[in-house]
Amino acid sequence: MSQWWQRRSLRARLAAWYAVAGTAICAAGFTAALLEGVWRPGDRSHLWLALAVGGAAALLLFGLAGYFIAGHALAPVKEMVERTRRLSARSLNERLPVVNPHDELGELATVFNQTLQQLENSFAELKRFTADVSHELRTPLTAIRAVGEVACRERNPAILYDALGSILEEVRRMNQLIDRLLLLARADDDNVPVRLEAWLVRSALLEVSDALALVAQDKQQRLELDCPDHLLAVFDPGLLRLALLNLIQNAIRYSPPAKPITLRAFRREDAVVIEVADQGPGIAPEHRQKIFERFYRVDKARSRAEGGAGLGLAIVKWSVERMGGTVELKSEVGCGSAFRLRLRPVSP
């Protein structure tokens, strides 16, 4: 019984209390009036007295019930106010106490705590992101500074020229990093215009594979294209090219020489699927979830040496989602990885 009582909302409890008290007083008054009537028929003055006493008692009872129930139910508010006051960006791990999860205040506290949790997560994300960005920017800056300072003491023009070249290379790297970050930052508010229309998938794939054929060939790799001639899908050619160039260059980079890379497209009932598959080392399960996150790298030392900042797949994911599609990874360690883009089909 007490448990049932606890699970009601504040409103229901007050209403229940009032109903019980009201019924009791009515019954008492009615009984009194009835008894009076039997006792002294004709004399109504006692009836009025009974009503007056009953009314006063009712008011008193209602007031007391309201006072205690509301007081009990609202007791956590003080604590909530206190804790909310202490909240700041620095102490987002604070949570409000949930005294009774079933009443209004409990619900409020629960929702507030969920919001706090989300805020805490985004703050943590932002913090991590800022740390990653600073690190990525500091790496080329360190190189620029070191090369520049050493070059200052140099008198040999050939070495000076070389130092300048090396500084400019790092500047280019920073430039590209900032361009990518800007794209992703803008992506967050979805302001980048897209041109979603029906296009031939094959010509988009051919364009990308033509551009990369020579790069693959230099690694004795082959790009195999398998796509029906008249397959249509809804996409933005620039965004799809961006996604595919990133994916195929990754495949070329991370799979060993002489292993083919397949570029396949086919129609499924609800989507057009484009698959980029390699026979590289594959991606271990613990990385698969995180691989689309910004700055996430499976092999930190290696990909940085090759100039990557860990933004390629984040850009792939963003560009595919911007076209209303999805991207997923299927991978088996030792056998290879396959990235599958699902795009909106053109209804026949």
Partner 1 sequence: MRVLIIEDDEKTARAIASGLEAGGFSAAVAHTGEEGFFLLNAEPFDLVVLDWMLPGRDGIEILRTLRARGSRTPVLLLTARDAVEDRVLGLESGADDYLVKPFAFAELLARIRSLLRRASPAEALKKTVADLMVDLEARRVSRAGRPIDLTPREFDLLAYLLRQPGQVVTREMLAREVWGEANRITPLDNVIDVHIAHLRRKVDEGQAAKLIHTVRGVGFVLREEACG
Binding site for partner 1 (CB under 8 A): 158, 161-162, 164-169, 171-172, 175-176, 179-180, 182-183, 186, 191, 193, 210-212, 214-215, 218, 238, 241-242, 245-246, 249, 312, 315
User: Which H or E run includes 69?
Assistant: helix 45-86
∠ CA 335-340-345, nearest 5°, is 150
The residue type at 257: P
Q: 237-254 and 312-322 helices cross at what angle (nearest 10)?
A: 150
State the minimum distance, in angstroms, from the CB of residue 125 to partner 1: 22
Strand partners, 328: 340
Which letter, b or e, does each residue of 102-130 get, where b requires 16 or more Cβ atoms within 10 Å of its Cβ? ebebbeebeebeeebeeebeeeeeeeebe
Shortest CB 302 distance to partner 1, Å: 16
Nearer to partner 1, 209 or 331 (CB): 209
Which token pair is 317? Answer: 């994911």
Helix, strand, or coil (residue 86): helix
HSE-up of residue 275 (Cα within 13 Å, Cβ side): 19
Min dist CB 336 to partner 1, Å, is 21
Q: Which helix (H) or strand (E) holds 328?
A: strand 326-332
Q: Is the dihedral of CA 312, 318, 319, 321 positive or negative?
A: positive
Output the smallest distance, CB 110 to partner 1, in A: 41
We find the least distance from the C-beta atom of residue 91 to partner 1, in angstroms, to be 37
Distance in Å, CB of 283 to partner 1, minimum: 20
Q: Which two tokens stand for residue 343?
A: 């795009």
Q: Which is nearer to partner 1, 238 or 285 (CB)?
A: 238
Distance CA 274, CA 266 (A): 7
Question: Shortest approach of partner 1 to residue 149 CB, angstroms?
Answer: 17
**C-alpha to C-alpha distance for 214 and 121, rounded to whole angstroms:** 44
